[in-house]
């Protein structure tokens, strides 16, 4: 259950509407009203609706943070609240404070523009329309990311009171619904984040990806962080910090072990790189262009920061794809074909060494639409001993984000999630003129706006402000919410069903006939449900129909 606190200064009609709306909700609950005006009508409404209300002075606004902590508040709504929210509260609730403004931002907003003052200004300017804006709260008045706007027309005879009545109807109609929709998306992010990362993981990532490091912060982290429990993958991220900041002092127990991890992983992928050189040298000799993608591209960009790789992915022109695959076959490798790529395995060990892609696998199915641009923007590099084309930072980032989203949904490569965030930060900051328009263009061409928006919110939930806020609104809220449903559907229902279905294969049932009833139950269900693997809207319908619980 999401606990909501409402800040209000006036009569409280919006507060009452929100309380009534969420009264029977299984998702959210208005736990407390906070009011800075001892004579406000919202106090009486709160008493009548049996919601606790605490009054505070303007001077003690920062102190309400203690009340929020005490009540376990997850989300804040401003409903006719006239004071500027302190930075301390905004930082404690990133993307979790929503305000409603009685005008169409960016017009008629800012300090002093509230209530009747807004309507008087709109009428005085002879505007033809006005409306409401529901937006996230940042450090400036009426400035945060817009979630929703609704308009109403203004007649030539309308007075400020007439306009106020029209605005009131819009507020009562839309405010609770928009908040509810936004909470649905945030609930999806929260649930997946808590399933994917322990609190210690998030603390580690936030420390490792900080722009500034202090010895005190490191000491505090290491007091509660267990290297043995965390394991090599997570400790490697801390090794990166030690390598990049030799001025930091690590305790004797940590220092040698973290240094050893760097050296271990430096040689861990030698065999992979040897196979890459063997296969790609032959592909290149045939005049086929090669573009390393994902982890292989990042390893090439940052050779001093080794990492574990399951295989190395490359992209080749679709017209040359079969030739490239046949070259690998000619060299004695085993092939496992998929719709968009072929997995190359060693015959002796059956170890995967490379994926040859003809296009990027994207949920929308439109990955091939950006392949020409990836090749056009790539530049020549020598990677693991072979001359290839390395994608630009923006294309590597886009592919990494798409791949990260798929890994979230399908429960794959979960150990590599912290490194994806590390990669994203590096790709952005290592280029003076990182062009986010390329990310937007790729998203539009592949119909991935909602996916990129949702993932941007997910990333910023873990590492605040890593991705620009503009990337969180590439799509409409309802589309982003629908993609959140797809995340839930695939991660918590389809992926476990797929795993169980594979465990109950035909050969397994033949060996153990007692598994036949389970096979009959699971296999048809999985076969049917995977039809909706790429459909956000269908996933939303399935969740709503309670085919499985998202709680």
Residues 6+ apart with CB under 8 A from 273: 312, 384, 385
Helix spans in 411-514 (H): 417-429, 436-445, 449-462, 477-489, 495-503, 506-511
As a whole number of angstroms, the distance between CA 306 and CA 261 comes to 9
As a whole number of angstroms, the distance between CA 38 and CA 10 comes to 10
Catalytic residue among 101, 135, 345, 357: 101
Tokens (6 digits) for 45: 């409404």
Question: Annotated catalytic, 340?
Answer: no
Q: Is the dihedral of CA 379, 381, 383, 388 positive or negative?
A: positive
Q: Quick check: helix, strand or coil at residue 133? A: strand
For residue 73, give Cα distances in angstroms to 154, 200, 367. Answer: 39, 21, 41
For residue 314, give Cα distances in angstroms to 294, 318, 387, 397, 420. Answer: 8, 12, 13, 15, 18
Tokens (6 digits) for 344: 């190359």
Residues 6+ apart with CB under 8 A from 477: 147, 148, 178, 181, 182, 185
Phi-psi region of 286 (alpha: psi -120 to 50; beta: other; left: phi over 0): alpha
Q: Is the dihedral of CA 96, 97, 102, 104 positive or negative?
A: negative
Specify whether the CB–CB gap between 301 and 390 falls below 8 A. Answer: yes
Report the DSSP beta bridge partners of residue 32. 5
Specify whether the CB–CB gap between 325 and 335 falls below 8 A. Answer: yes
As a whole number of angstroms, the distance between CA 249 and CA 247 comes to 6
As a whole number of angstroms, the distance between CA 222 and CA 248 comes to 12
As a whole number of angstroms, the distance between CA 89 and CA 97 comes to 9
Task: Find tokens 């606990």 and name the residue.
Answer: 3
**What positions carry a catalytic annotation?**
101
């Amino acid at each position: 259950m999401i606990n909501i606190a409402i800040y209000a200064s006036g009569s409280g009609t919006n507060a009452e509407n929100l309380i009534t709306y969420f009264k029977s909700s299984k998702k959210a609950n208005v736990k407390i009203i906070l009011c800075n005006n001892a004579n406000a009508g919202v106090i009486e409404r709160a008493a009548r609706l049996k919601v606790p209300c605490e009054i505070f002075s303007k001077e003690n606004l920062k102190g309400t943070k203690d009340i929020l902590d005490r009540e376990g508040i997850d989300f804040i709504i401003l409903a006719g609240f006239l004071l500027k929210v302190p930075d301390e509260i905004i930082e404690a609730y990133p993307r979790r404070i929503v305000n409603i403004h009685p005008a169409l931002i960016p017009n008629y907003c800012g300090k002093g523009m509230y209530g009747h003052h807004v309507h008087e200004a709109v009428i005085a300017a002879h505007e033809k329309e006005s409306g409401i804006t529901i937006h996230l709260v940042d450090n400036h008045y009426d400035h945060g990311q817009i979630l929703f706007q609704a308009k109403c027309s203004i007649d030539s005879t309308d007075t400020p009171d007439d306009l106020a009545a029209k605005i009131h109807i819009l507020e009562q109609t839309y405010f609770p619904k928009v908040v509810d929709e936004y909470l649905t998306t945030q609930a999806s992010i929260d649930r997946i984040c808590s399933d994917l990362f322990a609190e210690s993981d998030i603390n580690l990532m936030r420390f490792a990806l900080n722009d500034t490091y202090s010895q005190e912060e490191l000491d505090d982290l290491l007091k509660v962080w267990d290297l043995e429990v965390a394991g090599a993958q997570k400790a490697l991220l801390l090794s990166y910090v030690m390598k990049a900041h030799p001025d930091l002092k690590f305790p004797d127990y940590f220092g040698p072990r973290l240094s050893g991890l760097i050296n271990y992983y430096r040689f861990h992928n030698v065999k992979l790189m040897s196979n890459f050189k063997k296969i790609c040298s032959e592909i290149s000799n045939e005049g086929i262009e090669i573009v390393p993608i994902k982890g292989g591209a990042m390893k090439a960009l940052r050779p001093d920061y080794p990492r574990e790789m399951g295989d190395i992915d490359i992209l080749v022109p679709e017209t040359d794809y079969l030739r490239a695959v046949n070259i690998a076959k000619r060299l004695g490798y085993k092939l496992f074909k998929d719709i968009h790529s072929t997995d190359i395995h060693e015959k002796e060990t059956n170890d995967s060494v490379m994926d040859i892609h003809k296009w990027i696998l994207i949920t929308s199915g439109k990955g091939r639409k950006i392949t020409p641009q990836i090749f056009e923007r790539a530049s020549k590099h020598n990677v693991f001993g072979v001359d290839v084309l390395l994608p630009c930072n923006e294309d590597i980032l886009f592919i990494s984000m798409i791949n990260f989203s798929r890994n979230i949904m399908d429960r794959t490569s979960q150990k590599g999630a912290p490194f994806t965030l590390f990669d994203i930060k590096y790709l952005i900051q290592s280029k003076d003129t990182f062009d986010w328009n390329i990310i937007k263009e790729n998203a539009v061409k592949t119909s991935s706006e909602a996916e990129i928006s949702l993932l941007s919110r997910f990333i910023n939930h873990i590492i605040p402000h890593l991705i620009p806020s503009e990337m969180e609104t590439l799509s409409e809220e309802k589309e982003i919410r629908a993609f959140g449903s797809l995340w839930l559907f695939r991660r918590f229902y389809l992926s476990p069903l797929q795993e169980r279905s594979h465990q109950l294969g035909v050969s397994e049932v033949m060996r153990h006939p007692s598994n036949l009833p389970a096979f009959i139950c699971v296999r048809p269900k999985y076969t049917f449900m995977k039809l909706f693997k790429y459909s956000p809207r269908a996933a939303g319908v399935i969740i709503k129909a309670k085919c499985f619980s998202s709680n």
